[in-house]
Structure 1
Amino acid sequence: MDKIEPFNAQILEAACKVLADTERGLTGLELAYIIQDCKIVDVDPSNTKWKRLFNSLAEAQNKYQVGNHLIMFINRALNPVSYARKKEAFEWRRSELNVVLSFSGYQVREDGQVIRTQKETTLRGARERAGALRIKLEDRNAHQEVFNYCRAELLDQNYFHAILEAIKGVAQRIRNMSGLSTDGAELVNSSFSVKNPILKINSLQTETEISEQKGFSNILVGLFGSVRNPVAHAPKTSWPLSEQDALDIFSMISFIHRKLDTTTKIGGSI
């Protein structure tokens, strides 16, 4: 490996916080193994994970005046062989590291290896380069329910199946709220009927509120009919979907979930 310029403290810290993230990062045992494998001194094994890793890498960087140890650690930590059954973890770590490393002109490839690339100078540029649909949805402040039902698909940038899972999540949430077991238009029409509703998005006391309930019901039926059904029944190659279309559909799903947040059940609690 060629000599790499030392990374500044901010880049090193940010990378360590990704690699040793509390929920999605490496475990303490994994950290210890890779630190030893990289022949780095584990200078602070009793500290929190990210500080332990930061102190070890900083000590090596200061001693040898090179940044090679961080790259070496990432190459080992993101070896795809270790993620055969943890693809989501791999994609999250790779995506987050690419945001951090892009400021120094590096990128983690799909095979887990770090390569040189064009240096970014802005956060927006770095995040765009990371190429994560998940990040773009976060920028839109998408409702958390969207991520709950399609996290793995989002991290694969698989728009086709991610949208299917997200819409299935809408239907399941309505079933949970209404107590019904039906699906599609039947589920929506029974749940949000204006004559005998099970669920209501407002008090249904005025013509305007009744119209709003009808309109919301139509949006749901339209989402199931125009998006979910074609996605569910057509091959991926027969229903091409751009990133922009995917983002717009996810925004609609997010809007629906926000409406459901304030929806109440007639004659009982949800």
Structure 2
Amino acid sequence: MAEKIRKLTNSEIEVLARTIGECMTGSQMDSIFLECGVMDTSNESTKWKRIFYTFRDRQEIDGASNAFLNFIKKSLNPVRFVSGSSDNYDKILAEVNKPLLLMGLELTKEGKLIKTVAATTISEVERRTCNLINELQKRHIHTDVIKCCKEEYLKENYFHAVLEAAKSLAEKVREKTGLQDDGSSLFNTVFSVNNPRLAISSLQTSTDKNLQNGLKEMLNGITHMVRNVTAHELKIKWVVNEQDAIDILTTISFLHKQLDECVVVPQHII
């Protein structure tokens, strides 16, 4: 993160130092200090205190907390945890993100530190680090779905989250085919069995044709039940709670994965 991030309070440094200190040995900490180009100036032996005093003093010199945030990022580099439990990594990441979210920052599972919508309450922090994010990660939601709805999700705007995710299906089909249609008109044309623009299978057997038709009908179903409803109905009349949104996003994620497997059928110009 190139821009300077404000200095952290002693309480913020301490809670992060305690969490990070628990996920490494003393020798590993030495290695990460070296990798960051930071000298341990704490004169302490306790791991969290080494981190606390070193970066408390360092940010006074820098006028920013970037050095500490870089240390956190390198400490939670996913490659350091490949031989261990992914559940343990998720737990540590969630604990680190609790104070970071209050600052408007988040460390992703890919090891990137990003700016995000700042949490304002403890209950919001708990929800964002536990219930929602863990559930989406467990379900391996397609990245195209996450890109479309993450900001809305973090604001509890489930209504618009599912709308944006549903719209992303037609957008992907347009990108793959070059067509400019939308909704059912687009899907019916593209996934025609007799003259397809995209194919999920070879279309040689009845099973192949059923798969093609099934994908078309599922895409149409999401269009009618989710996209068209959210686009034309008042938000107060179509309530989407968190569990509904997760279920809908899981279905849309499945469809994105199917679209990724589709091949473009060459069109013969007569």
Q: TM-score, normalised by structure 2?
A: 0.59
Q: Does 1:191 align with 2:217?
A: no
1:34-58 per-position Cα deviation (integer Å, ceiling 9, x unaligned): xxxxx9411796967432899xxxx
The code of the aligned residue for 2:228 comes to N
The code of the aligned residue for 1:200 comes to A
**CA drift at 1:134:** 3.6
Q: 1:79 to 1:162 in 2, by over 3 A?
A: closer
**CA drift at 1:9:** 4.9
Q: 1:14 to 1:203 in 2, by over 3 A?
A: farther
**Aligned residue number for residue 257 of structure 1:** 256
**CA drift at 1:89:** 2.6
Cα distance between partner residues in 1 of 2:176 and 2:22: 41
**CA drift at 1:245:** 1.0
**Aligned residue number for residue 215 of structure 1:** 214
Q: Does 1:11 align with 2:19?
A: yes
**Aligned residue number for residue 103 of structure 2:** 78
Of 120, 123, 147, the match for 1:110: 120
How many residues align structurally? 190
Of 49, 53, 57, the match for 1:41: 57
**CA drift at 1:160:** 0.4
Cα distance between partner residues in 2 of 1:200 and 1:52: 46
Q: Is the 8 A contact 1:134 1:154 kept in 2?
A: no
**CA drift at 1:8:** 8.4
**Aligned residue number for residue 169 of structure 1:** 168
Q: 1:140 to 1:14 in 2, by over 3 A?
A: farther
Q: TM-score, normalised by structure 1?
A: 0.59
Q: 1:48 to 1:218 in 2, by over 3 A?
A: same
Partner SS, residue 58 of structure 2: coil
The code of the aligned residue for 2:221 comes to G
Q: Is the 8 A contact 1:127 1:135 kept in 2?
A: no
Among the aligned pairs, what percent are the same residue?
A: 34
Cα distance between partner residues in 1 of 2:154 and 2:218: 27
Q: 1:141 to 1:41 in 2, by over 3 A?
A: same
Q: 1:213 to 1:79 in 2, by over 3 A?
A: closer
1:236-251 alignment runs, 5 A limit: 236-251=235-250
Structure 2 unpaired stretches of 5+: 1-8, 24-54, 75-98, 106-113
Q: 1:155 to 1:129 in 2, by over 3 A?
A: closer
Q: 1:14 to 1:267 in 2, by over 3 A?
A: farther
Of 23, 43, 50, the match for 2:70: 50
Cα distance between partner residues in 1 of 2:247 and 2:142: 13
**CA drift at 1:158:** 1.2
The code of the aligned residue for 2:189 comes to S
Partner SS, residue 196 of structure 1: coil
Partner SS, residue 267 of structure 1: coil
Q: 1:149 to 1:7 in 2, by over 3 A?
A: closer
Cα distance between partner residues in 1 of 2:104 and 2:212: 51
Cα distance between partner residues in 1 of 2:214 and 2:72: 55
